[in-house]
C-alpha cells in the first residue's frame, strides 16, 4: 500500500478554497493580534512567480503541536484575495513545503508528525485548486526550498538526515534517482566545509542548483555540476564534479554561512543567504543567471546586519521586478520587514510590521503581512515609502482541532 493511501482521508473530496474577504482601506492604523508561543518559523516562506504567489505559515494553537497546522495560500494575477489551497487529507502538523513550477503547477510536501513517520507529496497543475497524491522515497528536509519543480515537470527534493541527499524524479516515469550527497559537495572545494544541504532549485534549462551550509567560510554554499547531463538524463551523471559558485559574503566576515532560500525562474535564480558573525546574523540576497551548467555566476546584495538577538522569521522570493527578496526579522514581539528589488539594489525598510506577523509576501510592489491568531487570519498591506499598513483581508480558516490527536 502506498504511504499516501495509509494517511489520506477523503482525497476525492473537493478542496476547500476560501477567499479572504476584502474589507477595504478604512483606516491605515494597525489593530494588532496577540500571538504567543509562535512555533519555529523556518518553514514560513513565500514565493512569487510569473503565474502566482504562494505563502506557507503555521496557524492554530502554537503551544499545542498537535493543534498547530501549516497552511498554504495562493494569489494569482487578478485575484482580489488570498485563497486557502492546503492539500486535503494528510496531517500537516509537522510542516509543509512547496515547490512552484511553470503555468501555476505546484508540488507540496508534508513533513512527519506524530504517527506520520514519512513524507508524502501532492501535485497540482491548476495553482492548488485540485491535488493528486504522490510518493517520495524518504523524508523531506525541514527547509522552505526542499522541493523544486522544473519546467518539464521534474521534481527535485532535499531529504532529511542522515543522508541529506538531493534526489530528482524523471518527468515521464516519475522514478527517483540520487543527484548528490553532502560529502560529494564537500570534496568539491576546501572553501566551505559543507555542514548540510539546505535548498534546491531547477533552472529553466532543467539544471539543478544546490544550496548548502558552510561551516567555516565567508563564501555562500551554492553548487552546480561542472558538466551537463547526458542527453535525456534526469540528473548529473554518477561521479559528476560540482563547483562552488556562491559569492563571498558581504559586510563582516562570518564564521559560517547557509543558503536559506533558492528559487529559479525564467529570468534567473533568486535566493537568500545567512551568515553568522559573532553571534549576530547577516542576510544577503542572491542572484544568478541561467547559463549552462558550470557557467552560472552569482552576485549578492549588500549585507543586511540584524540587531543583536534578532533572527530571520520568514522570507519571500520574487515580487518587485520578479527578482525581489523580502525578509521578516524580529526578536520577541518586535518585527521588521526589509526588501531588496534585485542585484545592486539596497535593502529598504518598510513600515513597522503589524504585531503578530509571521509571514510576508510581495506581489508586484505591494507587500502583504500575515497575522494568524487561532483560526483567524488577518492580512495587511503596504508599499515602499508608506508609513503604515492597511488591513485588506480577514477570514476564519477551518482548522480541525483534535484531528491529529
Look at the block and give the residue holding cell 560529494: 184
Section 283-297 average pLDDT:
73
C-alpha cell at 297: 555566476
pLDDT-based confidence at residue 35 (cuts at 50, 70, 90) = very low
pLDDT at 16 over 80: no
DSSP 389: -
Cis ω on the peptide bond leading into residue 224 (within 30° of 0)? Answer: no
Section 75-79 average pLDDT:
88
pLDDT at 11 over 90: no
Section 27-56 average pLDDT:
65
pLDDT for res 17: 36
CB-CB contact of 263 with 269 (8 Å): yes
Sheet holding 348-349, edge to edge: 83-84, 68-76, 52-60, 45-48, 311-317, 325-331, 334-340, 348-349
CA–CA dist 173, 189 (Å, integer): 34
Rounded to the nearest angstrom, the gap between the alpha carbon of residue 234 and the centroid of all alpha carbons in its chain is 23
- Whether pTM exceeds 0.75: yes
More confident residue, 229 or 227: 227
Q: To the nearest whole number, what is the mean pLDDT of the chain? A: 84
Section 258-280 average pLDDT:
90
DSSP-based three-state secondary structure for 70: strand
pLDDT-based confidence at residue 389 (cuts at 50, 70, 90) = very high
Section 280-291 average pLDDT:
86
Q: What would the pLDDT profile of 162-175 be if each residue is shown by its tens digit?
A: 888 999 998 888 89
CB-CB contact of 14 with 283 (8 Å): no
DSSP 203: -
CA–CA dist 127, 146 (Å, integer): 19
Q: What would the pLDDT profile of 96-125 be if each residue is shown by its tens digit?
A: 999 998 778 999 999 988 778 889 999 999
**CATH class for domain 41-396?**
mainly beta
DSSP-based three-state secondary structure for 263: strand
Section 243-262 average pLDDT:
87
pLDDT for res 369: 98
pLDDT-based confidence at residue 203 (cuts at 50, 70, 90) = confident
Q: What would the pLDDT profile of 291-300 be if each residue is shown by its tens digit?
A: 544 456 889 9
pLDDT at 239 over 70: no
CA–CA dist 213, 44 (Å, integer): 19
**Any idea where the domains of the chain sit in the sequence?**
41-396
pLDDT at 64 over 60: yes
Percent of the chain with pLDDT over 70: 84
pLDDT for res 171: 85
Query: Which of 244-248, 318-322, 349-353 is modeled with the greatest confidence?
Result: 349-353
pLDDT for res 321: 74
Rounded to the nearest angstrom, the gap between the alpha carbon of residue 354 and the centroid of all alpha carbons in its chain is 22
pLDDT at 23 over 70: no
How many other C-beta atoms lie within 10 A of the C-beta of residue 66?
16
Could you tell me the CA-to-CA distances from 15 to 1, 76, 83, 402 in Å, in that order? 24, 17, 11, 20
pLDDT for res 150: 87
Q: CA torsion angle for 113, 313, 55, 219 (degrees, to 10)?
A: -100
pLDDT for res 209: 94
Strands 256-265 and 242-244, bridge-based pairing: unpaired
pLDDT-based confidence at residue 74 (cuts at 50, 70, 90) = very high
Section 342-350 average pLDDT:
92
Look at residues 190, 197, 199, 200 and name the one whose alpha carbon lies nearest to residue 213. 197
- Nearest-5° angle of CA 126, CA 127, CA 130? 60
Q: Which helix (H) or strand (E) holds 337?
A: strand 334-340
DSSP-based three-state secondary structure for 5: helix
CB-CB contact of 91 with 109 (8 Å): no
- Nearest-5° angle of CA 350, CA 69, CA 139? 100
Amino acid at each position: 500500500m502506498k504511504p499516501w493511501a495509509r494517511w489520506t482521508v477523503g482525497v476525492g473530496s473537493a478542496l476547500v478554497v476560501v477567499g479572504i474577504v476584502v474589507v477595504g482601506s478604512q483606516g491605515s492604523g494597525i489593530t494588532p493580534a496577540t500571538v504567543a508561543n509562535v512555533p519555529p518559523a523556518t518553514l514560513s516562506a513565500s514565493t512569487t512567480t510569473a503565474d502566482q504567489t504562494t505563502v506557507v505559515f503555521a496557524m492554530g494553537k502554537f503551544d499545542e503541536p498537535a493543534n498547530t497546522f501549516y497552511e498554504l495560500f495562493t494569489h494569482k494575477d487578478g485575484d482580489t484575495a488570498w485563497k486557502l489551497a492546503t492539500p486535503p487529507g494528510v496531517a500537516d502538523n509537522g510542516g509543509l513545503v512547496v515547490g512552484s513550477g511553470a503555468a501555476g503547477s505546484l508540488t507540496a510536501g508534508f513533513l512527519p508528525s506524530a504517527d506520520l513517520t514519512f513524507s508524502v507529496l501532492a501535485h497540482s497543475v491548476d495553482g492548488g485548486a485540485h491535488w493528486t497524491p504522490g510518493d517520495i522515497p524518504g523524508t523531506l528536509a525541514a527547509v522552505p526550498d526542499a522541493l523544486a519543480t522544473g519546467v518539464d515537470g521534474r521534481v527535485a527534493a532535499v531529504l532529511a538526515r542522515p543522508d541529506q541527499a538531493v534526489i530528482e524524479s524523471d518527468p515521464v516515469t516519475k522514478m527517483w534517482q540520487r543527484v548528490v550527497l553532502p560529502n560529494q559537495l564537500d570534496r568539491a572545494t576546501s572553501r566551505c566545509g559543507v555542514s548540510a544541504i539546505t535548498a534546491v532549485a531547477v533552472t529553466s534549462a532543467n539544471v539543478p542548483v544546490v544550496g548548502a551550509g558552510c561551516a567555516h567560510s565567508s563564501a555562500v554554499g551554492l553548487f552546480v555540476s561542472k558538466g551537463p547531463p547526458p542527453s535525456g538524463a534526469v540528473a548529473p551523471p554518477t561521479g559528476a564534479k560540482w563547483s562552488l559558485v556562491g559569492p563571498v559574503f558581504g559586510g563582516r566576515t562570518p564564521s559560517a554561512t547557509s543558503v536559506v532560500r533558492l528559487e529559479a525562474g525564467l529570468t534567473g535564480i533568486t535566493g537568500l543567504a545567512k551568515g553568522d558573525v559573532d553571534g549576530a546574523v547577516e542576510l544577503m540576497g542572491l542572484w544568478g543567471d541561467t547559463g549552462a551548467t558550470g557557467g552560472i555566476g552569482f552576485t549578492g546584495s549588500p549585507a543586511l546586519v540584524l540587531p543583536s538577538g534578532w533572527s530571520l522569521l520568514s522570507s519571500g522570493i520574487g515580487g518587485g521586478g520578479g527578482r525581489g527578496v523580502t525578509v521578516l526579522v524580529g526578536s520577541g514581539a518586535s518585527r521588521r520587514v526589509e526588501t531588496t528589488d534585485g542585484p545592486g539594489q539596497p535593502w529598504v525598510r518598510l513600515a513597522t510590521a503589524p504585531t503578530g506577523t509571521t509571514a510576508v509576501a510581495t506581489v508586484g510592489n505591494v507587500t502583504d503581512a500575515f497575522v494568524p491568531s487561532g483560526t483567524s487570519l488577518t492580512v495587511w498591506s503596504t508599499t515602499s515609502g508608506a508609513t503604515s499598513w492597511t488591513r485588506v483581508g480577514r477570514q476564519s480558516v477551518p482548522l480541525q482541532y483534535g484531528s491529529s490527536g
